Structure 1
Amino acid sequence: SLHNSGLSGHNIKIGIMDTGFDTSHVAFARMRSENRILTTRNFLDGGNDVMGVPGGQRRHGTEVLSVIGGFDEGNLIGTAFGASFVLAKTESLTAEIQAEEDYWVAASEWMESLGVDIISSSLGYIDWYDTTQLNGHTAIITQAADIANQLGVVVVNCAGNEGGNIHWRKVVPPADGDSVIAVGAVNTDGFVSYFSSQGPTADGRIKPDFCALGEQDRVAASDNGGYGFDNGTSFAAPLLAGGIALLLEEHPLWRISDILANLKRASSITNHPNNAQGWGIPNFVNAINMEPYSPQRSLLIITPQPARDSVVFNMIFSSASTAILTVYDLSGAKVQEWDETATEPSTVIKVWDGRNRSNDKVASGIYICVFRVGDNNIRQKLAYFSR
C-alpha cells in the first residue's frame, strides 16, 4: 500500500554491514543505474571492494540487501527499493572473532559520519559475552549502536537466531540496547519462529521490540544470479528497517522516539507486549498516518541541506523558554554556541556564517547540531561545504 502511494525510501540513506554484497545481481540493477550505492568499504580486507569473488562469503549480505533494497519486478521488490545505500563488509565466514565486532563499531562510526539515517544490521555476537551482560551498556557493539542513535541514526538489528540454543536463547548484542530496535522473526501465519531470540534483557526490559517475516523470505541468490528463499531474523530486520525508511520519507521531521512510539501503537499486540514478539508485527500503514508521539514539542529545522557558506537554523519553540543551540564537529569538539530565548510559542531564526568561536571559517564536513530546550535535546546532522 505504501509503495502504491509513491513511497520507496527516496532520499533516505541506509547503512548495512555484512559479509559482502554481490552488487552485480540483477536485483540491484536499478540501484546501480540510479547511483544509489553511495559508497562501499571493506573493513575485513581493506579497500573498497565489498563484492569479492563468487561464493559463500557474500551470500548473506547479498540476501539482506535484496530484502530491503532490491527491485526486480515479478521476482523481488525490497521494502525500501528507492533508498540509497552505504555498504560495509565487516563479517568473516571463516571464524567468529572479536575483531568482527571492532569492524562493526568502525563501520557504524563511518556510516554516521556519512549522514546515514538508518543502520540495518543482521549481525550479532555472543561468543565472548554471557546473558548476564545483556543490560544495554556492557557489550562494545551495543555501546556503539547507542552512540549512533544519540547522534540521530535509527539502528535496527536482528534479534538473533538463538531461540533454540538452550545455552543462550536471548537476543544477541547489539539487540539488547535500549535505543536499538530489535526485530524477531515470525512465519507467514504470524507465529513466532522457533529460532527467534527472546527477552527479557538482563535488566528486565522487553525484547525484541517487534517482529517481521523471518521464514521463507524471498531473497536474491548470489551464487547463481537468481532468487531463492531463506530463514532467519537476519531477513526480518531489513524488512522492518525498510518500513522505517518509508516512515522517514513521509515524515522527515519525526524523531526516533516518534518512530518507536508510533510503531508500538500500530503493532499487533500493542497492549500486551511480551518477550517472544515484543509489541508484535507493525502495521506501517496505520503508523504512517499517526500524529507524532509528542506533537507539541520544540523543533530544529536546518536549511539548506547541504549548506554552502551560510546556514539557517529555524528554532521552533513550543512554549516560552530558553534554549542553547550548539554545533559540534565529529570529534565532539564544540564549534559554536548561542543562547536563545522565546517569550511565547514562536520560531527564532539564527543565520550562521560558518565561523567558529575564534571567528575562523570551519572546514567542510558533517557537523552535529544540538538544540537544548527544557528537558529535550534535539539533534540534527548538518552537511556543510565551505568555499
Structure 2
Amino acid sequence: LALIETAEAMPAAIDEYVPVRLSFARIQDLVAFDLEIADPKRVIHRVWPNFAVHGQMDVSCRTVKADAVRRSFNARGNGIVWAVIDSGIDATHPHFAAGNTLRAPEVADLHRDFTLSTTPDAVTAESALCDGDSRQGHGTAVASIIAGYLPADYAAGQLSVTATELGVDDRVISTPRQVAPSELCGMAPEALLVSLKVFSDDGDDSNTDRVMAALRYVMEVNARHETRPRIHGVNLSLGYRFDPEWFACGQSPLCRYVDRLVRSGVTVVVAAGNTGYASFTTQFAGRRSGGLPMSINDPGNAERAITVGATHRSAPHTYGVSYFSSKGPTGDGRRKPDLVAPGERVTAATAITAPVAQRDATYAEFSGTSFAAPHVSGVIAAFLSVRPEFVSQPEKVKQILMAAATPLGREPHFEGAGLVDAMRALQSV
C-alpha cells in the first residue's frame, strides 16, 4: 500500500498523490519503467508508504475556562462548523440532539464516509453518523468534547456516567458516578459538527489516503462557497509514529495536506500522539522507562497545525504534562506541541452499535491526546463565534491562542506555549 507523488503539479481536478496497492517488487518495476521515459515526461517523483493512522468534559471545561467565556461572552460556538475526521459520530446519542448538532441544515448534507470510497459523491453518507469503533466510540467521544450538550432538565434516570479508576495490581476498575446533566456539554456546545469517517466499524486502523481524501473534501466544499466557508475547522485526533529516517519532518504527504488546508483558511487541530513514554535498556542499570523526546506523531509535525499535548483534567499545574503525551522538538528542531489541554480521564460521550429510536445518554472517561485536541477545537469554535472576523485566519488564531496560553512551568518541548486559556484568548482581542 503506497502513495505515489507525481513529478509535476497536476491540473486542479487531479490529485498529486495516487494511492496504489502493489507488492514492493511491482512498485520497483513501476519506478524502473518511469525512469526509462524521457525526463520531461516522467510521472513519479517519490513513493511514500501509505501509513496506518491510529485513533489517538465536565471538569475539564473549567480547566480551559470554556464555562467562563460562555457566561462572560456568550461564546457557545453559534454559527461555527467543525469537521471531525475520525471513526464516525453516533447521531443517536442525546448529547447531539438538543442543539441539532449533526442534523442542522447547515451541515446535514456534508457528512461523508471515506471507508466506503475516497472519492465520495454528492450523496450524504448516513454511515458517517454511526460509530462502530470498538473503543466505546472514539469519534463520538472526540465530537462530544467539541460541541453538543444535554439539557439541564434531562432525566437523571437515563443518564449514565462511568468513571475509570486504577485498582489493585494495575487492574482497571469502572465505577458509576453522579454528574449534573448541565455539566455534560462540549467546549462550544452550539457549534455544528461534520462527520468525516475514516475508521471502519471493524476496529481496523485507517490509512493516510483516507485522511488526505477527507482533508481534500473540506477544501472542495469551501471552494464552492467563496464568500464564506461552510467548514471553519478540522479536528484530527489520529496519526502515526514519525521516524526521522523516513523523510524530512513535516514534509510527509499528510503534513503537506494539513498545511495546504490551513493556507486555504481552515483551522486544523491535531493530537500530538501518545508515544511520549518508552522503555529502554541502560548500560549499567538495566531496563528503565522514561519520557521520549522527538516523539510527535504525524500529522502533528505539520508546521501550520495546532498540535496539542495532554495534561491533567483538573490539576494541570500540579501534575504537568501527561507522561504518555508525545514530546518535542520535531525531528527537524521545531518546537512542538503548540499547546496542551486536558487529556487524562476526560468525560465524553460513548457510542453504541445497535440502531435505536431512543437511548440513554452514556458517558465514560477517556485518556489520550486524542481527547486533548478537541478541547482546543472547541475553544477555537467558541472564540470564533464571538470574534467572527478571525474566521478564515487560522494562523492568526493560532498566534492568539499561543500568546494567551497559561504556562505550566514545564519544559517548552513538553508543554509548548502552555495550557489553552479560552478567557484570556477572548480578552486579548
Q: TM-score by structure 2 length? A: 0.62
Aligned to 2:60: none
Task: Structure 1: give runs of 5+ residues left out of the alignment.
Answer: 292-387
Of 113, 116, 119, the residue aligned with 1:45 is 116
CA distance in 1, matches of 2:133, 2:376: 27
Of 359, 383, 386, the residue aligned with 1:247 is 383
* 1:215 shift after superposition: 0.7
* Preserved contact between residue 115 and residue 199 of structure 2 (Cα < 8 Å): yes
* 1:30 shift after superposition: 1.8
Any residues of structure 2 matched to 1:280-295 within 5 Å, and which? 280-291=418-429
CA distance in 1, matches of 2:367, 2:135: 17
CA distance in 2, matches of 1:202, 1:54: 35
Of 212, 218, 224, the residue aligned with 2:341 is 212
* Preserved contact between residue 131 and residue 351 of structure 2 (Cα < 8 Å): no
* 1:48 shift after superposition: 3.9
* 1:158 shift after superposition: 0.5
- The 3 A distance-change label for structure 1 pair 53 and 268 is closer
After superposition, give the CA deviation of every residue in 1:171-198 in whole Å (9 maximum; x if it has no partner): 1111001100000000121111111001
After superposition, give the CA deviation of every residue in 1:230-258 in whole Å (9 maximum; x if it has no partner): 11111110111111112212222222232
* 1:199 shift after superposition: 0.6
* Preserved contact between residue 91 and residue 130 of structure 2 (Cα < 8 Å): no
* Aligned partner of residue 388 in structure 2, secondary structure: coil
The reply to whether residue 81 of structure 1 matches residue 192 of structure 2 is: no
Aligned to 1:118: 233
* Preserved contact between residue 20 and residue 58 of structure 1 (Cα < 8 Å): no
* Preserved contact between residue 86 and residue 111 of structure 1 (Cα < 8 Å): no
Aligned to 1:177: 302
* Preserved contact between residue 304 and residue 395 of structure 2 (Cα < 8 Å): no
Aligned to 1:238: 374
CA distance in 1, matches of 2:129, 2:260: 29
CA distance in 2, matches of 1:146, 1:55: 28
- The 3 A distance-change label for structure 1 pair 249 and 52 is closer
Aligned to 1:130: 243
* Preserved contact between residue 141 and residue 348 of structure 2 (Cα < 8 Å): yes
CA distance in 1, matches of 2:411, 2:260: 26
Q: Once the two structures are aligned, what percentage of the paired residues are identical?
A: 29
Any residues of structure 2 matched to 1:30-179 within 5 Å, and which? 30-32=98-100, 35=104, 37-38=107-108, 39-46=110-117, 47-52=125-130, 56=134, 59-72=137-150, 73=152, 74-75=180-181, 76-92=184-200, 94-96=203-205, 100-115=207-222, 116-126=231-241, 129-133=242-246, 135-165=248-278, 170-179=295-304
CA distance in 1, matches of 2:328, 2:187: 26
* Preserved contact between residue 133 and residue 139 of structure 1 (Cα < 8 Å): no
Aligned to 1:343: none
After superposition, give the CA deviation of every residue in 1:86-134 in whole Å (9 maximum; x if it has no partner): 111102454446xx211111101112322311111101123xx513457
* 1:6 shift after superposition: 1.3
Of 70, 74, 78, the residue aligned with 1:3 is 70
Letter in 2 for 1:216: R
- The 3 A distance-change label for structure 1 pair 201 and 251 is same
* 1:45 shift after superposition: 2.4
Aligned to 1:324: none
Letter in 2 for 1:15: A
The reply to whether residue 189 of structure 1 matches residue 315 of structure 2 is: yes
Q: Root-mean-square deviation (CA), in Å?
A: 2.4
**Higher fraction of helix:** 2
Any residues of structure 2 matched to 1:14-29 within 5 Å, and which? 14-29=82-97
The runs of at least 4 consecutive aligned structure 1 residues that moved more than 3 Å come to: 51-55, 92-97, 131-137, 165-169, 270-273
Aligned residue pairs total: 287
* Preserved contact between residue 251 and residue 302 of structure 2 (Cα < 8 Å): no
CA distance in 2, matches of 1:227, 1:57: 13
Letter in 1 for 2:341: A
- The 3 A distance-change label for structure 1 pair 51 and 259 is closer
CA distance in 1, matches of 2:337, 2:399: 15
* Preserved contact between residue 272 and residue 309 of structure 2 (Cα < 8 Å): yes
Task: Structure 2: give runs of 5+ residues left out of the alignment.
Answer: 1-67, 118-124, 153-179, 223-230, 281-291, 353-359
CA distance in 2, matches of 1:252, 1:53: 31
* 1:267 shift after superposition: 1.3
After superposition, give the CA deviation of every residue in 1:140-194 in whole Å (9 maximum; x if it has no partner): 1111100100101111000011112459761111100110000000012111111
**Higher fraction of strand:** 1
After superposition, give the CA deviation of every residue in 1:303-325 in whole Å (9 maximum; x if it has no partner): xxxxxxxxxxxxxxxxxxxxxxx
* Preserved contact between residue 87 and residue 132 of structure 2 (Cα < 8 Å): no
* Aligned partner of residue 218 in structure 1, secondary structure: strand
> Which 10-residue stretch deviates more, 40-49 or 190-199?
40-49
* Preserved contact between residue 275 and residue 324 of structure 2 (Cα < 8 Å): yes
* 1:225 shift after superposition: 4.2
CA distance in 2, matches of 1:209, 1:260: 9
* Larger RCO of the pair (alpha carbons < 8 Å, separation 6+): 2
* Aligned partner of residue 398 in structure 2, secondary structure: helix
CA distance in 2, matches of 1:54, 1:261: 37
* 1:54 shift after superposition: 5.3
* 1:62 shift after superposition: 0.7
CA distance in 1, matches of 2:260, 2:133: 34
* Aligned partner of residue 228 in structure 1, secondary structure: strand
